[in-house]
């Protein structure tokens, strides 16, 4: 029974052999876990930019990937999603150096942090998981449009089912629970994906007719990763139940699938798990909330994104 149980846990595989010659992908938080495995796979196909806060860790990951894939086009760039200044600097440098961008994978994330704030005073989960990637996508969107067909892939989570967008207390100052804060931020990822897809094509059909830039979200599965490092209990449970958790390689499959699978060329505004469409919570399908979150996010970041 063990092997078949393991196979079930492993979930879907990305079978696409699509090459990304001459194409450029950015992956945030790709120095560890599923981000690193996504980078490793994409490096076998084309040019990969690993955008991370910890440059030393990122360089170690990049040189390992270069050695393994023989691709020297695995480049590390500094990006701290908890600081809008760093996000703007990253985008400015990237736009100055690269003429094209075909794939943006918003993968980095924090989970179960004790209450803390980003450099700009945002609650950490909302700031890094949602607002940081929202701003990054905004700054890179023109380049994605110019390079189209292009794809935006947002790593969300099944945890979005437990989230709600609490506009009256978005920063968790009145009440804070780190588990729920994570859920809220993952719901924000789903709503951002939905509204972004709608705006990129003018209407929420499931085919991108507008800009040829698609946006999809995904649940990677329950993966053995460093994400639970802030919680002793979770770290302990993760160890006990490791047999039932995906490896980072298995967890990366849906991210890779959303980034490269040919059959998703014109699919947008969707949510995937195990390399197939998955169920989105009712809150994750609420267009009114998605629009309002978009506007509030723009206000918080001081940007105009129409």
Question: Where residue 221 falls among pLDDT bands split at 50, 70, 90?
Answer: confident
pLDDT at 208 over 50: no
Would residue 182 show up in a list of annotated catalytic residues for this protein? yes
User: What is the per-residue pLDDT across 12-69, written as a single tens digit (0 to 9) for each?
Assistant: 899 999 999 999 999 999 999 999 999 999 999 999 999 999 999 999 999 999 999 9
More confident residue, 36 or 179: 36
Helix, strand, coil distribution of the chain in percent, nearest 5: 50, 15, 35
What is this structure's pTM? 0.92
CA separation for the pair 175, 234 (Å, rounded)? 22
Hey, what CATH topology would domain 19-301 get? Rossmann fold (3.40.50)
The full 3-state SS of 104-134, as one line of letters, equals EEECCCCCCCCCCECCCCCEHHHHHHHHHHH
Average pLDDT over residues 124-151: 98
pLDDT at 243 over 80: no
Assess contact for 103 and 24: CB atoms under 8 A: yes
Query: If you write DSSP's letter for every residue of 77-97 in order, what string do you get?
Result: EE--TT-HHHHHHHHHHHHHH
Instruction: Tell me what percent of the residues of the chain surpass a pLDDT of 90.
Output: 82
Size of the chain in residues: 306
Question: Where residue 6 falls among pLDDT bands split at 50, 70, 90?
Answer: very low
Set 8, 115, 182, 279: catalytic member: 182
């Amino acid at each position: 029974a063990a092997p078949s149980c393991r196979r079930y846990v492993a979930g879907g595989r990305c079978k696409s052999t699509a090459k990304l010659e001459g194409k450029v992908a950015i992956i945030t938080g790709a120095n560890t876990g599923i981000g690193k495995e996504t980078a490793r796979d994409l490096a076998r196909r084309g040019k990969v930019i690993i955008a991370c806060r910890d440059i030393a860790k990122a360089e170690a990951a990049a040189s390992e990937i270069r050695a393994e894939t023989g691709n020297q086009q695995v480049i590390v760039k500094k990006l701290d999603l908890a600081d809008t200044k760093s996000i703007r600097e990253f985008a400015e440098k990237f736009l100055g150096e690269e003429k094209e961008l075909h794939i943006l994978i918003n993968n980095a994330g924090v989970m179960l942090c004790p209450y803390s704030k980003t450099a700009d005073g945002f609650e950490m989960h909302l700031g890094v998981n949602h607002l940081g990637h929202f701003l990054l996508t905004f700054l890179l969107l023109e380049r994605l449009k110019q390079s189209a067909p292009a794809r935006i892939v947002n790593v969300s989570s099944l945890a979005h089912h437990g989230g709600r967008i609490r506009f009256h207390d978005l920063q968790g100052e009145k009440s804070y629970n780190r588990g729920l804060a994570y859920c809220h931020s993952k719901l924000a990822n789903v709503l951002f994906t939905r509204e972004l897809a709608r705006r990129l094509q003018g209407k929420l059909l499931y085919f991108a007719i507008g800009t040829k830039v698609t946006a999809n979200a995904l649940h990677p599965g329950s993966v053995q990763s460093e994400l639970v490092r802030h919680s002793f209990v979770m770290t302990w449970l993760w160890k006990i139940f490791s047999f039932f958790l995906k490896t980072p390689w298995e967890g990366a499959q849906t991210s890779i699938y959303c980034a490269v699978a040919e059959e998703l060329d014109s699919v947008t505004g969707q949510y995937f798990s195990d390399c197939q469409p998955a169920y989105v919570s009712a809150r994750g399908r609420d267009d009114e909330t998605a629009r309002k979150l978009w506007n509030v996010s723009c206000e918080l970041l001081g940007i105009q994104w129409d």
